[in-house]
Amino acid sequence: MSSSTSTVTVDNKSVELPVKEGTIGPSVIDISKLYGQTGMFTYDPGFTSTAATESKITYIDGDKGILLYRGYPIDQLAEHGDFLETCYLLLYGELPTAAQKADFDYRVTRHTMVHDQMNRFFTGFRRDAHPMAIMVACVGALSAFYHDSTDISDPHQRMIASMRMIAKMPTLAAMAYKYSIGQPFVYPQNELDYTSNFLRMCFAVPAEDYKVNPVLSRALDRIFILHADHEQNASTSTVRLAGSSGANPFACIAAGIACLWGPAHGGANEAALKMLEEIGTPDRIPEYIAKAKDKNDPFRLMGFGHRVYKNYDPRARIMQKTTHEVLNELGIKDDPLLDVAVELEQIALKDDYFVEKKLYPNIDFYSGITLKAMGFPTSMFTVLFALARTVGWIAQWSEMIEDPSQRIGRPRQLYTGETERDYVTVAQRG
C-alpha cells in the first residue's frame, strides 16, 4: 500500500495526514491521529464518506455497477460457480482446487445436523413467530451448545465455528419454516448438495418421497451466491463491531441477523413483494410512483435505490434472469406480480425523480417473486438472505480477528445535549 499525505487546516493549524491507497477504488485519508493533533473529531453519520476498515474480500464500484468477490466478477461466479465454492473463495481468498473443493464440501456437509436439544428452542416459540426472530435467537443459542468453538484466540476453534454456522444455517432456517407450518422437522440428507439439501429440508414431508428439482436448486444456489457478501454494509459492520469486543462468533452472527432484518436492508425483499401485491395491477403503478416521490409521504419504492450503487445493481440483472428461469421451469406463464414488477421498473427508470437520484432496482426487487414461485412464504425471504450472507459475515469477522492492528470499535459523537448542571431534589423542581 503506497502512501502520500493530505493537509487539513483546522483553526489556522495545518496537519499532515497520511493517504492510503487500495488496489482499486477510492484512497482514504487516515484520520486516526486527527483528534490527538487537533482536538476535533470527524462527523459522518451513516458513514457516507468513511472507510471503517481495510479489507481484501469484496469490492464494489457503485457508479459502474461492479461487484467482485476476491477479484472475481459476480456474474462469472453466478454463471459458472456454485455456492460452496463461493464460500471457500470468500473465506480463503482463492478458488479451491478440485481436491480442496471436495474436502470443503465434505467438511460442511458433516456439520449440517444441529444438537437435537435445539428442537426445544423452536417449540418455545408461537407458531406465528417471525422466522427472523427465531433465527436471531437460535443462532445466538448455538454458542450455548458448541463450547468447543467459542475461543476466538484459537484459529482451529474459529475454523470449526465457521464451518458449523455455514452448515447449520440451512438446517435452522428449514426448521423455522417447518415449525411455522406445523410440519415435522426434516433432518439433513448428506448425499445431497448444500442447496438441494436445504430445499428438501423445507419441502419434503415424511409421508412421501421428495425429488429435488435441479433447475430450482441451481437457481436458489445462484441466489445464495448473489447474497454471499457485500462489503461493509450495515449487518456486516454490525458483525465486525460486535466481534471487535471479543464476543463469540455465534453471538456476532446473531447480531448481524438482527441488523439484516430491517426493511432498509435485508427485509427489503419481503417489503418489495408486499408492495407488488399491494399495487396488484399495472394501472395502479402511477399512484405508487407519485407516493414514492411525495416528500410528505414516507412511502418508498421497495427494491429500489442503494447507498452504494448509483447504477443498475449487477446482482439485480442476474436475479431478473433467474426469475424468468424459475417461472419457466414451474410453467408459470402469466404472473401478475411479475407484470407489475416489469412495468414498474420501466416506468421508474424513465421518471425524472428516479433518474436524477440515480435510483435503480436492487437485488431485492426481483428476488421475492422468484422465492415466492419456489414456494417460500414472504416471511422466509430475509431468512434466506441471512443463510447466504452468513459466509460473508464470517469471512469479514475472521479477517478482522486475524488483523494484528484490530482494536475494539468505539465511535465518538458530537454532543448536543445539556451542559453540566446541578441535581435538584423532587421537592424543589417547579
Give contact residues for ligand CMC (rule: CB under 6 A). Answer: 233, 264-266, 268, 292, 300-307, 357, 359, 362-364
Instruction: State the Cα–Cα distance between residues 349 and 219, nearest whole angstrom.
Output: 26
- Tell me how crowded residue 242 is: count the other CB atoms within 10 A of its CB: 23
Residues 257/136, Cβ–Cβ less than 8 Å: yes
Nearest approach, Cβ of residue 262 and ligand CMC (Å): 9
**Integer Cα distance of 171 and 114 in angstroms:** 7
| Least spacing, CB of residue 49 vs ligand CMC, in Å | 12
**Which is closer to ligand CMC, CB of 58 or CB of 233?**
233
Here the cell at position 323 is 426469475
306 annotated active-site: yes
d(CA 219, CA 272): 20
- CA dihedral sign, ordered 59, 152, 85, 370: negative
| CB 236, min distance to ligand CMC, A | 10
Give 44-65 as a DSSP string.
-GGGSS------SSEEEETTTT
20 beta partners: 3, 28
Indicate the residue among 171 and 367 with the shorter CB distance to ligand CMC.
Answer: 367
Q: Which is nearer to ligand CMC, 41 or 47 (CB)?
A: 47
* Residue of 63, 364, 403, 422 with catalytic role: 364
- What's the closest the beta carbon of residue 50 comes to ligand CMC, in angstroms? 14
Smallest gap from residue 220 Cβ to ligand CMC (A): 18
Give the HSE-up count for residue 344: Cα atoms under 13 Å, Cβ half-sphere.
Answer: 33
Residue 362 beta carbon to ligand CMC: minimum distance, rounded to whole angstroms: 4
Q: How far apart are CA 199 and CA 190, in angstroms?
A: 13
Do the Cβ atoms of 312 and 319 come closer than 8 Å?
no
Cα separation, 91 vs 70, whole angstroms: 10
User: Whose CB is nearest to ligand CMC?
Assistant: 305
Q: Is 235 helix (H, G, I), strand (E, B) or coil?
A: helix
C-beta of 146 vs 261, nearer to ligand CMC:
261
- Residue number with CB closer to ligand CMC (131 or 188): 131
- DSSP for 309-348 reads -SS--HHHHHHHHHHHHHHHHTT----HHHHHHHHHHHHH
CB of 272 to ligand CMC, least distance (A): 6
248 residue type, one letter: N
Task: Count other C-beta atoms under 10 Å from residue 56's C-beta.
Answer: 12
Residues labelled as active-site residues: 306, 364
